[in-house]
Chain A
Amino acid sequence: MELLLQTLVSGFLKGGLYALIGIGMTLIMGVMGIINLAHGQLMMVSMYITYSLFALFGVDPYVSLAVSVPAIFILGVAIQKFFLNPLMKIDTILPENQVLMTVGIGMALTEIMRFIFTSDYKSIQTSYSKTTLLMGNISFSLPLLIDFFIAVILTGALFYFLKHTDTGRSIRATAQDRDAAILMGVNAERITSITFGLGAGLVAAAGTMLMPVFYLFPDIGGPFTRKAFVICILGGLGSSVGAIFGGITLGLVEAFGATYIGMEFADMIGLIIFFLVLLVLPGGLKRITGM
Chain B
Amino acid sequence: MLKVEGVDLRYGDMPALWDVSFEVHKGEILVLLGANGAGKSTIIKTLSGILRPSRGSITFNNIRLDTEPAHEVICHGLVHVPEGRRLFPEMTVEENLIMGSMAPEAKKKREETIEWVYSLFPRLRERKNQLANTLSGGEQQMAAVGRGLMGLPKILMLDEPSLGLSPLLARDIFKIIQLVNKRGVTVLLVEQNVKYSLSICDRAYVLENGRIVLSGTGEELARNEHVKEAYLGV
Chain A interface residues toward B at CB < 8 A: 166, 169-170, 172-173, 176-177, 179-188
Asked if residues A183 and B50 are in contact (CB atoms below 8 Å), the reply is: yes
Asked if residues A173 and B88 are in contact (CB atoms below 8 Å), the reply is: yes
Q: Is the interface of A mostly helix, strand, loop or mixed?
A: helix
Chain B residue with minimal CB distance to A180?
B86
Chain B residue with minimal CB distance to A91?
B12
Docked Cα-Cα span, A172 to B131, in Å, equals 13
In the assembled complex, B71 has its CB within 8 A of some CB on chain A: yes
Chain B residue with minimal CB distance to A179?
B50
Docked Cα-Cα span, A177 to B100, in Å, equals 13
Shortest distance in angstroms between A182's beta carbon and chain B's nearest beta carbon? 5
Asked if residues A180 and B88 are in contact (CB atoms below 8 Å), the reply is: yes
Docked Cα-Cα span, A179 to B81, in Å, equals 12
One of B69, B89, B151 near A184 (C-beta < 8 A): B151
Shortest distance in angstroms between B134's beta carbon and chain A's nearest beta carbon? 11
Asked if residues B91 and A169 are in contact (CB atoms below 8 Å), the reply is: yes
Asked if residues B89 and A183 are in contact (CB atoms below 8 Å), the reply is: no
Interface size class of B (residues with CB under 8 A): 20 to 34
Contact with A along B99-110 (1 / 0, CB 8 A): 110110001000
30 A-B pairs with C-beta separation under 8 A: A166-B98, A166-B102, A169-B91, A169-B98, A170-B99, A172-B91, A173-B91, A176-B88, A176-B90, A176-B91, A177-B87, A179-B82, A179-B86, A180-B82, A180-B88, A181-B88, A182-B71, A183-B50, A183-B80, A183-B82, A184-B99, A184-B100, A184-B147, A185-B71, A185-B72, A185-B73, A185-B74, A185-B103, A186-B71, A188-B71
In the assembled complex, B42 has its CB within 8 A of some CB on chain A: no
Residue among B80, B88, B107 with most chain A CB within 10 A = B88
Chain A residues, Cβ within 8 Å of B87 = 177, 180
Chain A residues, Cβ within 8 Å of B98 = 166, 169
Within 8 A of A (CB), among B59-100: 69-75, 80, 82, 86-91, 95, 98-100
Residue among A185, A186, A187 with most chain B CB within 10 A = A185
One of A169, A180, A182 near B95 (C-beta < 8 A): A169
Chain A residue with minimal CB distance to B70?
A182
Shortest distance in angstroms between A240's beta carbon and chain B's nearest beta carbon? 11
Chain A residues, Cβ within 8 Å of B107 = 166
Can you name 11 extra interface pairs (CB under 8 A) apart from A180-B82, A180-B88? A166-B102, A169-B91, A169-B95, A170-B102, A179-B50, A179-B86, A180-B86, A181-B88, A181-B99, A184-B151, A185-B103
Shortest distance in angstroms between B188's beta carbon and chain A's nearest beta carbon? 14
Docked Cα-Cα span, A184 to B107, in Å, equals 12
Chain B residues, Cβ within 8 Å of A166 = 98, 102, 107
In the assembled complex, B186 has its CB within 8 A of some CB on chain A: no
Chain B residues, Cβ within 8 Å of A181 = 88, 99
Residue among A169, A172, A177, A183 with most chain B CB within 10 A = A183
Docked Cα-Cα span, A179 to B85, in Å, equals 12
In the assembled complex, B113 has its CB within 8 A of some CB on chain A: no
Docked Cα-Cα span, A183 to B44, in Å, equals 11
Counting from the closest, the 7 A-B pairs by CB-CB distance are A180-B86, A185-B74, A185-B102, A185-B103, A176-B88, A187-B71, A173-B88
